[in-house]
């Protein structure tokens, strides 16, 4: 199986033009450097050296370091893998669908933890500057899924769709933010062992006991 995967990767690489391979090499080099030392500490010269291209040549593909980062945010976003999974997620009710989706998201992001670090760079070093472009790229593909929340009989109370999106995405992001803070083994296990599914429980039902 591993050999077949390697052969598949080689076939894809062979179909790329020289310019496309260089573009990909620059993007991969920048990705690794941003994760290793942050955006601000990474120079275009370092990216060029890591990618094996001349410094002048890198500007044939990207106008600036900022442009590289913006492309990375979109190209490396796990929605490319997560959305098809969620589209096929079963659920006879909104609650069941959300819980099943949470499991699928946690499994996929667990295999791609570096993207969360990339998002931290976006928040800390850019103050969310590239989020609008990310939103414009992803939202049209997410909309059909969100309509499952607002369809008749979904059980979801009436609210503006943008607010629902923000609450759902915010729950997921806050879970992974706190994951980075809860690695100390001396912390109570209830903190360290919380799951995304537990976050979705709070997202769905809140923290207040419903009165009869």
Give dist(CA 175, CA 172) in Å, integer.
Answer: 5
Q: Are 100 and 54 in contact (CB under 8 A)?
A: no
pLDDT of residue 210: 67
C-alpha pair distances (Å), 155 with each of 92, 96, 118, 180, 198: 12, 12, 35, 33, 20
- 105 and 27 within one domain: no
| C-alpha angle 26-47-40 in degrees, rounded to nearest 5 | 120
Average pLDDT, integer, range 30-42:
93
Query: In this structure, is residue 193 part of a structural domain?
Result: yes
pLDDT digits (tens, 9 = 90+) for 115-160: 778 888 888 888 888 888 878 887 787 777 777 777 777 778 888 8
Please give the Cα distance from 133 to 137 (Å, whole number): 6
Q: DSSP class of residue 151?
A: S
Is position 141 within any domain? yes
pLDDT in tens, 56-111: 999 999 999 999 998 988 888 777 777 777 777 777 788 888 888 888 777 777 77
Name the 3-class secondary structure at 66.
helix
Per-residue confidence (pLDDT) for residue 1, from 0 to 100: 40
If asked whether residues 129 and 187 sit together in one domain, one would say yes
Does residue 51 sit in the same domain as residue 87? Answer: no
- Round to whole Å and give the CA distance between 171 and 168: 5
Examine the domain organization and report whether 152 and 199 are in the same domain.
Answer: yes
Same domain? 57 vs 95:
no
Residue 70 lies in a domain: no
Position 167 pLDDT exceeds 90: no
Same domain, yes or no, for 192 and 144?
yes
**CATH label of the domain that carries residue 15:** 1.10.10.60
In a domain? residue 71: no
150 sits in which H/E element? helix 131-150
188 is in which domain, residue-wise?
Answer: 77-205
What's the CA gap between 78 and 154, in Å, rounded?
27
122 shares its domain with 192 = yes
Final residue of a structural domain among 64, 93, 117: 64
User: Model confidence over 177-208: pLDDT tens digits?
Assistant: 788 788 888 888 888 888 888 888 888 888 88
Mean pLDDT rounded to a whole number for the chain: 81
Q: Note whether 37 and 121 are same-domain residues.
A: no
For the record, the structure tokens of 124 come out as 């800390």
Query: Locate tokens 């120079």: which residue?
Result: 43
Q: Give the whole-angstrom CA distance, residue 130 versus residue 112.
A: 20
**What's the 3-state SS for 85-104?**
HHHCCCCCCHHHHHHHHHHH
Together in a domain, 56 and 91: no
Specify if 210 maps to a domain: no
How many domains, the chain? 2
What is the reported pTM? 0.69
Clarify whether residues 60 and 84 are in a common domain. no
CB atoms within 10 A of CB 75: 11
Q: What is the pLDDT of residue 50?
A: 96
């Amino acid at each position: 199986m591993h050999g077949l995967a390697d052969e598949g990767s080689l076939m894809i690489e062979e179909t790329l033009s020289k310019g496309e391979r260089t573009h990909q090499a620059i993007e991969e080099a920048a990705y690794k450097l941003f994760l290793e030392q942050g955006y601000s500490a990474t120079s275009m010269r370092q990216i060029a050296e890591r990618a094996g291209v001349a410094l002048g040549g890198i500007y044939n593909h990207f106008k600036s370091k900022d442009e590289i980062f913006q492309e990375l945010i979109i190209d490396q976003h796990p929605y490319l893998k997560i959305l098809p999974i969620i589209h096929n997620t079963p659920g006879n009710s909104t609650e069941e669908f959300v819980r099943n989706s949470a499991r699928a998201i946690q499994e996929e992001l667990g295999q791609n933890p570096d993207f969360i670090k990339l998002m931290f760079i976006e928040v800390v070093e850019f103050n969310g500057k590239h989020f609008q472009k990310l939103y414009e790229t992803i939202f049209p593909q997410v909309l059909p899924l969100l309509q499952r929340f607002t369809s008749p009989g979904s059980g979801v109370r009436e609210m503006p769709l943008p607010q629902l999106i923000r609450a759902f995405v915010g729950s997921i992001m806050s879970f992974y933010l706190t994951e980075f803070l809860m690695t100390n083994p001396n912390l109570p296990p209830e903190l360290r062992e919380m799951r995304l599914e537990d976050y979705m429980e709070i997202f769905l039902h809140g923290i207040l006991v419903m009165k009869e």
